[in-house]
Chain A
Amino acid sequence: MFDQILQFLLTGITVGATYALVALGFAIIYNASDVVNFAQGEFVMMGAMSAIAMSAGDGLPIFLSLPLAVLVTIGVGILLQRFAIAPARGASVVTTIIITIGASIFLRGVALLLWGKSIFALPHFSGEQPIHIGKATLLPQNLWVMGGAALLVLGVHWFFNHTTHGKAILACSCNRTAAQLVGINVGMMMLIAYGLSAFLGAMAGILVTPITFTSYDAGVMLGLKGFSAAILGGFGNPMGAVAGGILLGLIESLAAGLISSGYKDAIGFIILLLVLFFRPSGLFGKATAERV
């Protein structure tokens, strides 16, 4: 029993690390521009798919195709900001939600056109020899996911707390006009925020695709899970989003193992709803009062 639980925990943390990266992307974009980016999951898919496409057949070696795929996805994120979000400034929350949903459908359409409906995989980074921990097993790729996610989260934390650009983005999220008045290039900061968010998505995709595979519509569920995780942690709180992601991964993995794999997603959402009922602004979100 204990070994089983350990196995579920290891799987849960791996899945949770992916959710955490997607949720972090949600939080960054929301903080910078008040937009819930429903195309966040498509960044994950784009990162993985373009890496696979570039190294397919006699294409580029993997150490070249991975960074290029990340660059491509960052480009997609910047284009999204520049041509879909920026022109609609001042639109209502629902309108921007629909714009990003349109963007996610568009990106899915592009992927469908380029790569069809097949399921693709990336090779494991360092072999597929399982590692045994007690009676539980772990693939080296699981360690890549956990380690990679941990590094990325630390990097983002450092970026927002110790660099001028990071602090400038935070300033924009506090008060856009004030930020502009002290000489921050708000437009530029938005592009950086979206680029960073796309970067996190692409990294998540590349890290996890050797285990989970990918296809043109793989981003949908990941996007929803990322949004759930971000809400669970308290929307707009980046480290809350990470915690929410790990927690959601663990809940799902335990629910799948101990209760029913068919209902694992439902159980995840039920716990999310219960949390919201008792803490309407998430686990680590600040309670806000309506300004009258």
Chain B
Amino acid sequence: MKRLTGLLLLAVILLILPFLFPDNYYVTVVGVTALLHAVLAVSLNLLMGYAGQISLGHAAFFGIGAYTSAILTTRYGWDPWAAIMAGLALTGLVSFLVSRPILRLKGHYLAMATLGLGIIINIILVQGEQLTGGPDGLGGIPTLSLFGWAIDTDLRWYWAMGATMLGVVWLALNIIDSRSGRALRALHGSEVAAEMMGINTTAAKTGVFVLAALIASLAGALFCHQQSFISPDSFSFFFSIELVTMVVLGGMASTYGAVFGALILTFLPELLVVFEDFEVMIFGAILMLMMIFLPQGLFVGLQSFALRWLSRRRAAALHTAGD
């Protein structure tokens, strides 16, 4: 029950925001993007934060989900839901096939291999013009409807994306506290030790890799139907890096940290727009400073700071009471 309090709090905040700020650009437009990023960051955090497998190519699976759904609905007239399922199936297949050889690699070699995978997929999206529309992108993607309820306004997308995000967070929290979650954390600590305890590390790593890819693919499908237009830029190497940054910024191995990191990294550029030409520079500087001074991540860092402060106050209170 305790682990669901955070989730409940998150749900309440999501629920009241649109009523506090109706038709607010930062809630229903940037907010939807932030929720989407949160879904992606939570999925990447399962792989990176808990299993300790770095991936610099997560945008590839986001892209496969988005493009499969977009191509099947616009070029072949598929029903969006069937197209999303097809996207998930394709992502599952691709991620499963690459997971074995890729996850054998460690450290910087793993980083390089995932980065390469991401770039290869992106190049295919740019070059496969007959199918993907090439660098100009692909437009006219139909929106989704759920039981006859068309998700066709910003606010409705906010609800849809919010529900998805809560679902994914719930899933992540449950996995982490399950047997397989403990297996993942064990292999993060030491793969050899985990194997000694009877954990099938290959299966555990493959499983979490495929799961993270599937969640990203689902996010991609939602993204393409929400935007109705996609281009390869949204699935580039830079976006993969941004996702990693969200996870690390929030605090590795903390699901709420990943959500927090996604929110910050989505809103920060919006706020930095006022600095115009200085925007890029300031963004880079903030990134560096945060990592130098709070290497364990903002969320985790602030959390432990708050806990320390609380306990010190309690100690002080006890002290005065003792006097």
Query: Chain A residues in contact with chain B, CB under 8 A?
Result: 30, 36, 84, 87-88, 91-95, 97-99, 101-110, 112-113, 224, 227-228, 231, 235, 260, 262-263, 265-266, 269-270, 272-273, 276-277, 280-282, 290, 292
Q: How far is the CA of A270 from the CA of B119 in the complex (A)?
A: 10
Could you tell me if A108 and B292 are in contact, using CB atoms closer than 8 angstroms?
Answer: no
Q: How far is the CB of A231 from chain B (nearest CB, A)?
A: 4
Q: How many residues of B contact A (CB 8 A)?
A: 48
The listed residue (B244, B249, B285) touching A106 by CB distance below 8 A is: B285
* Other contacts beyond A109-B283, A276-B105: 10, CB < 8 A: A36-B111, A92-B295, A103-B284, A106-B280, A106-B287, A269-B120, A270-B116, A270-B120, A276-B112, A290-B190
Taking a contact as CB atoms under 8 Å apart, the answer to whether A235 and B108 are in contact is yes
Assess A277 versus B101: contact at CB under 8 Å? Given A95-B248, A292-B193. yes
Q: Is B78 interfacial (CB 8 A cutoff)?
A: no
- Among A112, A273, A282, the one with the most B-chain Cβ atoms within 10 Å of its Cβ is A273
Whether the Cβ atoms of A263 and B127 lie closer than 8 Å is yes
What chain A residues lie within 8 Å of B109 (beta carbons)? 231, 235, 276, 280-282
Residue picked from B102, B190, B284, most chain A C-beta under 10 Å: B284
**Inter-subunit contact A266/B124 (CB<8 Å):** yes
CB pair B292 A265 closer than 8 Å: no
Q: In the complex, how many angstroms separate the beta carbon of B135 from the nearest chain A beta carbon?
A: 10
B interface residues, Cβ below 8 angstroms from A: 48, 54, 101-102, 104-109, 111-113, 115-117, 119-120, 123-124, 126-127, 190-193, 237, 241, 244-245, 248-249, 252, 277-288, 291-292, 295
Decide: B244 and A105 in contact? CB cutoff 8 A. Answer: no
B274 to chain A, nearest CB (A): 15
Contact in complex: B119, A269 (CB < 8 Å)? yes
Partner of B284, one of A108, A266, A269: A108
With both beta carbons as reference points, the residue of chain A lying nearest to B277 in the complex is identified as A113
Q: A101-B245, A263-B127 are in contact. Are A110 and B281 (CB under 8 A)?
A: yes
Chain B nearest CB: distance from A195 CB in Å?
19
B101→A102 contact, CB < 8 A: no
Closest A-chain residue to B134, C-beta based? Answer: A262
Q: A112 touching B284 by the CB < 8 A rule? A: no
A270 and B102 alpha carbons, distance in the complex (Å): 12
Contact B288 A84 (CB under 8 A): yes
Is B281's CB under 8 angstroms from A106's CB?
Answer: yes
Q: CB distance B284 to A104 under 8 Å? A: yes
Q: Which of B106, B113, B124 has the most CB of A within 10 A?
A: B113
The distance from the CB of A275 to the nearest CB of chain B, in whole angstroms, is: 10
Chain A residues, Cβ within 8 Å of B288:
84, 99, 102-103, 106
Asked if B291 contacts A102 (CB within 8 A), the reply is yes
B282 contacts across to A, CB distance below 8 A: 109
A88 B278 Cβ-Cβ under 8 A: no
Interchain residue pairs A-B with the least CB separation, the first 7: A109-B281, A106-B284, A102-B287, A105-B284, A109-B280, A102-B288, A269-B116
Chain B residues lying within 8 Å of A276, measured Cβ to Cβ, are 101, 105, 109, 112-113
